[in-house]
Structure 1
């Protein structure tokens, strides 16, 4: 039987902790036997989970006997990690044990040096912090999880479920994993990554800058089929000068900024109306529905139809 040790530190996010416990305890082999033995471990006997206190039956020495170690996320990802925890994780990594993190648990793995030189992910809201604190880690904020062989990381709590199902499938095959997914009322694979949950932000321009009037006008007229020449004429500049000054003040090009404005508007329409996708493409200023679908998929990570299924509010 495969042993999974779930590591919980003070400040653990309850859902991040319960996800691997639920998934691995529910997994059954074709003959009905349990496929995994789950052990909840912590440096001390009790773990502060915010709304309640958890009693952990196992200590850090239990990590050494595990086939997989899953590190649950903490509400304060930048909090110091005890040296004994970092040493225990380094020891099991040196033995070749599979190690995974859920959500901000990636910060704990990074603190132990286990993500150095690796591609990894975490919750999109914390991805910039992870990249800044650990520049040696290749942080990808757009995916639900990353399987880098021995070390795996996932995005938010729900993406931890995706990752656990992925590990079950890797261990026992798609049929067993599909059974667990059905029990969790969850598709075995979700379309897109966590980019679909992020509202694209416009690169800012300093208040009072020469670009500010143009940015306001672009936001108000994003639904029109505007070209760089149109924007330059509105700004009273040559296209070349506009492109240079725009990039200096916003860090991006005029047309990319305009595309972000259109995609934001498209997200709103997909969430709040039943308009056909082709109509929305025209409403937000894309002359071609195909170009709209391609741009939407590139920026959001999923198709307009899939986005609507996930986020429609009407």
Structure 2
């Protein structure tokens, strides 16, 4: 059986550790060859409010096929030196190494991120880059795959990376079966963007609430900054200052983001053609939709649709 060793030491976050056991420790019905999951560490480890006892010593990860490094609870705490050393030894022994969330700091300490593309939770991306300047840190993706070194962003992205590993080992059908059990999208491509901030609520307590609601009802129309300023009874320049203060974007950037978000909703919930979605969202043509969607979301629209609607027919091509 494929051995998955979860490398533990110090203080960990319970979500990432729990999801590793949930995904790799429970085979789908009818699947005989699954994973042998082992918790490896130098001694009892603090996981949230719990203390967990490893089943094997930390150096046992060198005999594993895949090593998962869960999230560290505090990246500013001193990292157990033996953890990074053991991960490095496992890599040199031929293991596939994958970090979940801030577990990327362990890979960095082990020297496995030097010259490689990596990610972690967006809130810690700058710290990862500063601490390991040889790493190519990308804060805008769900996960990275360098073959035998993989990294995931925070929380839900850890699920995405685990499903990606199952997809590599067992194929899309089994990965989708596991995803359905977890009630999550079957597979999100690693290049999809992390959502680093909560979108401004249309019906909120701020100066642009009514204007944003009005604009969202008219995304299919060719709205301009002048149109928005006229509706708000203000000047385009003053409106621009308001938008940057409330949304962090210019009016046109905000409009484009809303059009792409609407396209996401339609791709997830309908079989509407790419051309029709482009018209409905005010993006004009399928070519324009694909270009902006790729830039904002990180994957082409059909790839995004397949992630959420894998069973639907997909006649269009990206």
For normalisation by structure 1, the TM-score amounts to 0.68
Give the distance between the partners of 1:117 and 1:82, measured in 2 at CA: 23
Structure 2 SS opposite 1:165: helix
Q: Name the CA distance, whole Å, in 1 between partners of 2:17 and 2:196.
A: 24
How do 1:116-265 and structure 2 match up within 5 A? 116-190=114-188, 193=191, 195=193, 197-199=195-197, 224-225=224-225, 259-263=252-256
> What does residue 82 of structure 1 align with?
80
Q: Report how many aligned residue pairs link the two structures.
A: 265
Measured in 1, the distance between the counterparts of 2:250 and 2:198 equals: 10
Asked if 1:67 is matched to 2:59, the reply is no
Unmatched 5+ stretches in structure 2:
200-214, 216-222, 227-234, 238-243, 265-275, 309-318
**2:111 equivalent in structure 1:** 113
- Partner Cα separation in structure 1 for residue 59 and residue 52 of structure 2: 18
2:292 is matched with which residue: 292, 295, 298? 295
Could you tell me the TM-score, scaled by structure 2's length? Answer: 0.67
Q: Distance in 2 between matches of 1:172 and 1:304?
A: 25
How far residue 155 of structure 1 moved from its aligned partner, in angstroms, is: 1.1
SS at structure 1 position matched to 2:162: helix
Structure 2: distance between partners of 1:38 and 1:192 = 24
Q: Which string of whole-angstrom CA distances, capped at 9 and with x for unpartnered residues, describes residues 155-178 of structure 1?
A: 112111111121122122223323
Closer/same/farther in 2, CA of residues 288 and 257 from structure 1, 3 Å limit:
farther
With over 3 angstroms needed to count, the CA separation of the structure-2 counterparts of 1:173 and 1:11, relative to structure 1, is: same
SS at match of 1:78: coil
Q: Give how far 1:49 is off.
A: 1.6
Whole-angstrom distance in 1 between the partners of 2:175 and 2:301:
28
* CA distance in structure 2 between the aligned counterparts of 1:172 and 1:292, rounded to whole angstroms: 33
Pick closer, same or farther for the CA change 1:79–1:267 going to 2, 3 Å: farther
- Cα distance in 2 between the residues matched to 1:304 and 1:177: 21
Task: Quote the residue 1:210 is aligned against.
Answer: none
Q: Decide whether the 8 Å contact of 2:118 with 2:144 is kept in 1.
A: yes
CA 1:149–1:29: 2 relative to 1, 3 Å: farther
Higher relative contact order (CA 8 A, sep 6+): 1
The equivalent of 2:35 in structure 1 is 36
Unaligned runs of 5+ in 1: 202-220, 227-232, 236-249, 251-255
